[in-house]
Amino acid sequence: MNYQAIRVIYKFEMLRAWNTLMQSLASPVISTSLYFVVFGSAIGSRIQEIDGVSYGVFIVPGLVMLSLLTQSIANASFGIFFPKFTGTIYEVMSAPISFFEIVIGYVGAAASKSFILGCIILLTANLFVDLNIAHPVWMMAFLILTCISFSLFGFIIGLWATNFEKLQLIPMLVITPLVFLGGSFYSVSMLPPAWQTVTLFNPVLYLISGFRWSFFEVADVSVGISLAMIIVFLLTCLAIVWWMFKTGYRLRN
């Protein structure tokens, strides 16, 4: 294992986030605060409780997941797309470093940035609501697995994209709608039976449900199923990345 190469890639990506601190951290935190003002105050005044949990507190896991998913994908996709766009990725690939070490460096940095962001958002949430976490260990487990999984997914998007428009295509047209329709701001039990069945095909539902359970012991689906879905998604992303490097997909002229 070439730890020196991993450290260099990781450090470079983390320094890039530091140089764009306003975009990397401040902007998502401000957006989350606005969600609290709009959903927590405006809608929360009309919906008092969901499953025995105050609405303002209920939406916290959904808001954290919304930021984690979008930022994990954005950080990882841009992190690998820009070297590919400028051509410096070929210098990395020609170095004595395996694809696994490249993935650890780039994905590790993207996941670290998302994890830090998730912790900051949780601290920000405490300024608006009285937040208690029933299972902090499981909360951290879901948080870390989500950061790694969707950073890997963003890495795949960055390798697949051939221009900046494609880089934004899947996050904007696929991920964001799935997050909003995955129970971020409501319980699936509030939907009509037919829509409840449709929502079960939304993979983001299982992420949010398991993460919410770690806070309030309230879930729309089984916690075991939620954990299994995250692990399956993680392994699938790893397999796709391995195939892309093995075949040179979008990496060779």
Tokens of 219: 């879930």
Backbone angles phi and psi of 54, in degrees to 5 = -55, 140
Is residue 35 domain-resident?
A: yes
Going by the DSSP 8-state scheme, the letter that residue 249 receives in this structure is T
pLDDT band at 21 (very low <50, low <70, confident <90, very high): low
Q: Domain of 174?
A: 3-247
CA atoms within 13 A on the CB side of 104: 13
Q: Which amino acid is at 29?
A: V
Tokens of 184: 């971020």
Going by the DSSP 8-state scheme, the letter that residue 162 receives in this structure is S
Beta bridge partners of 50: 53
Structural domains counted in the chain: 1
First to last CA, the chain: 28
- Which secondary-structure segment (H or E) carries 36? none
Mean pLDDT computed over 47-51: 77
Is residue 205 domain-resident?
A: yes
Is the pLDDT score of 22 beyond 70? no
Alpha-helical runs (H) found in the chain: 3-19, 21, 27-35, 55-58, 60-86, 89-94, 99-125, 136-160, 164-170, 176-180, 193-199, 203-216, 223-247
In whole angstroms, what is the distance from residue 63 CA to residue 78 CA?
A: 22
Model pTM score:
0.90
pLDDT band at 139 (very low <50, low <70, confident <90, very high): very high
Ranking 6-20, 214-228, 235-249 by mean pLDDT, the lowest is: 6-20
The share of the chain scoring above pLDDT 70, in percent, equals: 94
43 or 208, greater pLDDT:
208
Is residue 152 domain-resident?
A: yes
Taking only the tens place, the pLDDT of each residue in 68-90 is 898 899 889 998 998 888 888 88
pLDDT band at 145 (very low <50, low <70, confident <90, very high): very high
Ranking 52-56, 135-139, 158-162 by mean pLDDT, the lowest is: 52-56
Is residue 252 domain-resident?
A: no
Q: At what angle do helices 60-86 and 136-160 cross, to 10 degrees?
A: 30
244 or 38, greater pLDDT:
244
Is residue 52 domain-resident?
A: yes
Mean pLDDT computed over 200-214: 92
Is residue 121 domain-resident?
A: yes
Predicted pLDDT at 140: 94
CA triplet 112, 91, 252: central angle to 5 degrees?
100
Mean pLDDT computed over 10-34: 77
Taking only the tens place, the pLDDT of each residue in 155-166 is 999 999 988 888
Average pLDDT, the chain: 86
Tokens of 99: 């694809």
Predicted pLDDT at 241: 92
pLDDT band at 43 (very low <50, low <70, confident <90, very high): low
Is residue 253 domain-resident?
A: no
CB atoms near residue 135 (< 10 Å): 15
Tokens of 1: 């294992």
Mean pLDDT computed over 94-106: 87
Is residue 192 domain-resident?
A: yes
Residue 211 · residue 140 · CB < 8 Å: no
> What burial letters (b/e) apply to 30-39, b meaning 16+ CB within 10 Å?
eebbebbeeb
Within its chain, how far is the Cα of 25 from the centroid?
A: 14
